[in-house]
């Protein structure tokens, strides 16, 4: 490709609304342009990268035995009504009507369509297992699209769906997909982690997310410094080793005035937050007689609402009580709540339960207790793991301690079980002639998001540094003042044809630009290797090859260029 015949579209200035580095660089490098909130044009350079990623994904999926299909972006509402997600999915599901006033949705995912398809086409156990996938546009009407390509409303996803007669069979395909995903991210050249995850609204039991590690990530991942254990902090189990020491203080009530936050109370009493517990009132489930239940965590810990909402006593989704409800239920207002003589059921986090002589609210305004102790001062309570893990916690795997890092979720795999197949009656005849509902797995990869994540992980102050596997071009020829030197032009042209003939993706910067402009542009778009053709080296029949990542420069003979580039 010649730059003179290409749409390079690089720019010096960044639109002011681009916050994250990948968004800024994708705009400056001429990869994408915004059309509307969360929707983008993909320009030639961006599309080249996107296609590279898609190609690797497709290749590994095929290798793992998945079969490619294509399903429509627009889907009829009745499929969604059948699965129950027409009501369940909420406003992220964009609903539209056709000219006959019939309801449709823009597909955010394709469980319904694929399940209906398999239900019609697959009738015998002999056709199983089956793993179907597509690489296709999805639309999710995000509350707040942000970070450019990272969280768009329209994006490209590889989604695969597998169908099985048994859970064992599902599990073996699941493991196969797990491995395929590892292969994909390794081939692309990203630092990633598979982590144990929550299955969220998609449903199902077993689930892993694949995260690209980057500072700008939206998720926190906890992983052991001594083993492979990694989990989304939403899920990471908190291990409490401490046991409750004996009480040494008497229960005493103190006037804490207007101090209501943990921080204020700690300052007033000159104690550490770890010596306090905080009490949060949330809506109760039907399992308990009261309207509210109390969740108690140590003062320096945070509540993990996903863990909490899974507790049988807690209404799901988690909903905090408002100020009035708190006063009605306890007689005290928010800020002075505590477990002592509480009027609602108590769920106490294990590490809070391991405290002795702690400080807590007294369920009376402007008053806290010091020297509180569970066995002596508090009635019945239940112990559970409801807090967020923190760095330094023992790893649940038993080896090492947890570290916490930011990740960008680029893949997610689930064992769905029969959630969709049951709702949509998708089954086959077994060997004994009995109709049986299928077990399903589903496996997603954010193809567009991978592009952004790769940039977050690979850039410097000059621009993008693509991993070779997904670079838009492998090498760029940068001629020095070609219009003034016949020799430079001749060599550049012949290298261009030689590299093209060797099937190497080469960009030839044949613009009549000054060297500085070319260097800056090519570094910005992140081409891994540059060949600088200049008078300087031509007397020796040589050119300079520069490595974008290491910035290393080597001067080599012109007739070695093709082989050298090939070897990279």
Q: Which residues bind RNA (CB under 7 A)?
A: 10-17, 19, 36-38, 143-147, 260-262, 265, 278-282, 297, 302-303, 305, 320-321, 323, 326, 334-337, 361, 388, 462, 480-481, 483-484, 514-517, 519-521, 523-524, 532, 534-537, 544, 546, 553
Cβ-proximal residues to 397 (8 Å cutoff; 6+ apart), any chain:
224, 227, 228, 229
80 HSE (CA, 13 A, CB side): 21
CB 464 within 8 A of CB 27: no
Smallest gap from Cβ 537 to RNA, in A, equals 5
15 HSE (CA, 13 A, CB side): 16
Residue closer to RNA by CB (options 438, 482) is 482
Cβ-proximal residues to 319 (8 Å cutoff; 6+ apart), any chain:
282, 283
- What are the tokens at 564? 């050298």
Burial class (CB in 10 A: 0-12, 13-18, 19+), 87: exposed
Smallest gap from Cβ 527 to RNA, in A, equals 12
Residue closer to RNA by CB (options 44, 65) is 44
CB 464 within 8 A of CB 524: yes
Residue closer to RNA by CB (options 12, 126) is 12
Give the span between the Cα atoms of 566 and 553, in whole angstroms: 17
Smallest gap from Cβ 540 to RNA, in A, equals 11
Angstrom distances, CA of residue 337 to CA of 263, 293, 334, 344, 362: 15, 12, 6, 11, 6
CB 482 within 8 A of CB 544: no
Smallest gap from Cβ 384 to RNA, in A, equals 14
Residue closer to RNA by CB (options 196, 491) is 491
Angstrom distances, CA of residue 191 to CA of 408, 450, 550: 11, 12, 18
Residue closer to RNA by CB (options 79, 532) is 532
Smallest gap from Cβ 301 to RNA, in A, equals 8
Smallest gap from Cβ 87 to RNA, in A, equals 19
Residue closer to RNA by CB (options 429, 517) is 517
Smallest gap from Cβ 539 to RNA, in A, equals 10
Residues 161-176 as b or e (16 or more Cβ within 10 Å = b):
bbbbbeeebbeebbeb
Smallest gap from Cβ 343 to RNA, in A, equals 14
Residue closer to RNA by CB (options 54, 332) is 332
Smallest gap from Cβ 264 to RNA, in A, equals 8
Cβ-proximal residues to 69 (8 Å cutoff; 6+ apart), any chain:
114, 117, 132, 133, 134
Residue closer to RNA by CB (options 100, 461) is 461
Smallest gap from Cβ 277 to RNA, in A, equals 10
Nearest to 276 by CA among 375, 387, 371: 371
Residue closer to RNA by CB (options 10, 458) is 10
Give the span between the Cα atoms of 8 and 30, in whole angstroms: 6
Per DSSP (E only), the strands in 422-505 are: 427-429, 435-437, 439-446, 459-460, 463-464, 475-479
Residue closer to RNA by CB (options 134, 330) is 330
> Whats the size of the chain, residue-wise?
568
Nearest to 474 by CA among 568, 559, 552, 544: 568
Judging by DSSP bridges, how do beta strands 207-213 and 130-139 pair with one another?
unpaired
CB 66 within 8 A of CB 52: no
Residue closer to RNA by CB (options 186, 220) is 220
Residue closer to RNA by CB (options 7, 36) is 36
Give the span between the Cα atoms of 65 and 59, in whole angstroms: 10
Smallest gap from Cβ 23 to RNA, in A, equals 8
Smallest gap from Cβ 262 to RNA, in A, equals 5
């Amino acid at each position: 490709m010649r730059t003179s015949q290409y749409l390079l579209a690089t720019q010096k200035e960044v639109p002011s609304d681009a916050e994250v580095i990948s968004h800024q660089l994708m705009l400056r490098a001429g990869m994408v342009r915004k059309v509307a909130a969360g929707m983008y044009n993909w320009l030639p350079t961006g599309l080249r990268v996107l296609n590279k990623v898609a190609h690797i994904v497709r290749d590994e999926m095929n290798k793992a035995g998945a079969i490619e299909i294509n399903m429509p972006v627009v889907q009829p509402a009745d499929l969604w009504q059948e699965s129950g997600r027409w009501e369940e999915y909420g406003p992220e599901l964009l609903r539209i009507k056709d000219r006959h006033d019939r309801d449709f949705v823009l597909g955010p995912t394709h469980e319904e369509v694929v399940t209906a398809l398999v239900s019609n086409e697959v009738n015998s156990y002999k056709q199983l297992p089956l793993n179907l996938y597509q690489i296709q546009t999805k639309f999710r009407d995000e509350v707040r699209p942000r970070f450019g390509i990272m969280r768009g409303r329209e994006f490209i996803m590889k989604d695969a769906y597998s169908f099985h007669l048994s859970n064992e069979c599902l599990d073996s395909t699941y493991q196969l997909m797990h491995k395929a995903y590892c292969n994909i991210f390794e081939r692309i050249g990203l630092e990633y982690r598979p982590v144990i995850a929550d299955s969220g609204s998609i449903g199902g039991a077993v689930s892993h997310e694949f995260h690209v590690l980057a500072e700008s990530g939206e998720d926190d991942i906890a992983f052991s410094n001594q083993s492979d254990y990694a989990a989304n902090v939403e899920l990471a189990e908190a291990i409490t080793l401490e046991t409750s020491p004996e009480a040494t203080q008497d229960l005493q009530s103190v006037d804490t005035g207007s101090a209501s936050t943990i921080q204020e109370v700690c300052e007033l009493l000159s104690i550490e937050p770890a010596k306090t517990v905080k009490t949060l009132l949330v809506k109760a489930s039907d399992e308990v007689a009261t309207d509210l239940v109390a969740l108690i965590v140590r003062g320096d810990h945070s509540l993990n609402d996903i863990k909490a909402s899974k507790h049988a006593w807690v209404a799901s989704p988690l909903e905090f009580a408002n100020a009035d409800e708190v006063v009605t239920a306890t007689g005290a207002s928010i800020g002075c709540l505590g477990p002592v003589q509480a009027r609602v059921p108590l769920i106490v986090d294990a590490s809070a339960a391991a405290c002795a002589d702690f400080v807590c609210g007294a369920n009376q305004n402007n008053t806290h207790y010091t020297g509180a102790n569970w066995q002596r001062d508090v009635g019945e309570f239940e112990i559970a793991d409801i807090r967020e893990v923190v760095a330094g916690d023992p790893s649940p795997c038993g080896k090492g301690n947890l570290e916490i890092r930011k990740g960008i979720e680029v893949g997610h795999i689930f064992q769905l079980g029969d959630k969709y197949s049951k709702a949509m009656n998708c089954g086959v005849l077994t060997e004994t002639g009995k109709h049986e509902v299928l077990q399903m797995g589903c496996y997603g990869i954010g193809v567009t998001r991978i592009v952004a994540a790769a940039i977050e992980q690979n850039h410097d102050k000059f621009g993008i540094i693509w991993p070779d596997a997904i670079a838009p071009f492998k090498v760029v020829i940068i001629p020095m003042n070609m219009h003034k030197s016949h020799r430079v032009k001749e060599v550049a042209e012949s290298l261009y044809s030689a590299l093209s003939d060797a099937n190497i993706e080469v960009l030839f910067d044949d613009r009549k630009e000054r060297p500085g402009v070319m260097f800056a542009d090519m570094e910005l778009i992140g081409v891994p290797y540059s060949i600088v053709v200049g008078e300087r080296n031509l007397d020796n029949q040589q050119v300079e090859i520069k490595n974008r990542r290491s910035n290393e420069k080597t001067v080599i003979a012109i007739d070695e260029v093709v082989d050298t580039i090939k070897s990279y």
